[in-house]
Amino acid sequence: MAELTYREAVAAGIAQEMARDERVVFLGEDIGAAGGVFKATVGLFERFGPRRVRDTPISEQAIIGAAMGAAMTGLRPIAEIMFSDFFGVCWDMIANEIAKTRYMTNGQISLPLVIRTANGAGSRFGAQHSQSVENWAMAIPGLKVVAPSTPADVKALIAAAVRDPDPVIVFEHKSLYAVKGEVPDGETVDTLGSAKVLHPGKDCTIAALALMVPRALEAAARLQSEHGISCEVIDLRSLVPLDTRTLLASVEKTARLYTVEENPRLCGWGAEIASIVAEEGFWNLDAPICRITTPHIPLPAADRLEDATIPSVDRIVETVRRTMD
């Protein structure tokens, strides 16, 4: 068991799959000798060479188009879009081509490709470089969507994404890149569509994703010690497929559900979860489902304003305490 940062685990996951399968290639802006703008791909260029680790022009459309063509012709590409906000530049190709090709060709063409991207706030990059856009991808049929919160999960879920026969978008939270955690030695691979119960509890369920997971865990510890409220914390890890069984089983036990979402409130992933739980687990609920979210506003660049906008540990604690009372 090694202790790696989240960014080191990203590189480890990519390296594991490139070493295992020579069809895996990697392309994106500054991912080669520079090691990536977030230093999440350090060492890959030196190990696998310029034929399999390719720096591209500053063109998201070129990156995604090349990845799609490579997947159609037998490779298993990993493409990096530097910031998830930049999906807006190449969204037509992702949403209208990559997501639909297998369906529109009746399975004659599959697209086993991965799109990695840095997502989320916390780095003071402003409204055009700080969004959480996982709900954009979640809304498109044909795409699988994962967002790991720990170094161990990011390595294992990248491996699972590379091996999957369908297009997978991996959202890596830029504010987690420096976080350290234990990562199993050797080859590791996880299962897409499986959530994890990280903290058992009996009074309420808190569902979280990516950066919100460690905040939910800290809030759960405070709620237990300061208010005697026992919270079950679930790391969703995957939005498509979504592990509804784990969520519904937890709500059946606790009878209360909170979602902690960094994405803007309108049409966020928590709204879909609330809909599923209301439809399939309504009679297990003792209170309305409560969503703790970012307001429906562009993200500010000022540090205090950004911190006040996205869900904090204090806001999670106060919301749960107030509504539980």
Residues 156 and 249 in one domain: no
User: Considering only CA atoms, which of 62, 95, 93, 92 is closest in space to residue 80?
Assistant: 62
User: Considering only CA atoms, which of 196, 2, 23, 31 is closest in space to residue 118?
Assistant: 31
Predicted local distance difference test score (pLDDT) of residue 123: 87
Residues 117 and 201 in one domain: no
Q: Where a domain ends, among 162, 183, 204?
A: 183
Q: What's at 92, amino acid-wise?
A: D
Number of independent structural domains in the chain: 2
User: Alpha-carbon torsion 288, 196, 191, 248, what sign?
Assistant: negative
CB neighbourhood size of 314 (10 A): 12
Predicted local distance difference test score (pLDDT) of residue 245: 98
pLDDT tens digits, 102-136? 999 999 999 999 999 999 998 899 999 999 999 99
64 and 106 Cβ atoms separated by less than 8 Å: no
Q: Where a domain ends, among 157, 183, 209?
A: 183
Predicted local distance difference test score (pLDDT) of residue 325: 82
Predicted local distance difference test score (pLDDT) of residue 1: 84
Q: Which of 8, 17, 29, 60 is catalytic?
A: 60
CATH of the domain at 23: 3.40.50.970
Distance CA 293, CA 175 (A): 17
Residue 238, C-beta contacts closer than 8 angstroms, at least 6 positions apart = 144, 145, 146, 147, 157, 192, 193, 194, 195
Residues 20 and 69 in one domain: yes
Residues 26 and 47 in one domain: yes
Q: Is residue 22 among the annotated active site residues?
A: no
Q: Is residue 60 among the annotated active site residues?
A: yes
CATH of the domain at 266: 3.40.50.920
Average model confidence (pLDDT) across the chain: 97
pTM value surpassing 0.85? yes
β pairing state of 53-55 and 114-119 = unpaired
Predicted local distance difference test score (pLDDT) of residue 259: 98
Helix (H, G, I), strand (E, B) or coil at 28: strand
User: Considering only CA atoms, which of 325, 131, 295, 311 is closest in space to residue 206?
Assistant: 311
**Domain membership of residue 131 as a residue range:** 2-183
Q: Which of 129, 173, 262, 306 is catalytic?
A: 129
267 and 135 Cβ atoms separated by less than 8 Å: yes
Q: Across the 325 residues of the chain, what is the mean pLDDT of every consecutive 10-residue run?
A: 95 98 97 95 97 96 97 97 96 96 95 97 92 96 98 98 98 97 95 98 98 98 97 98 98 98 96 97 97 96 94 98 92
Is the residue at 191 inside a domain? no
CB neighbourhood size of 305 (10 A): 12
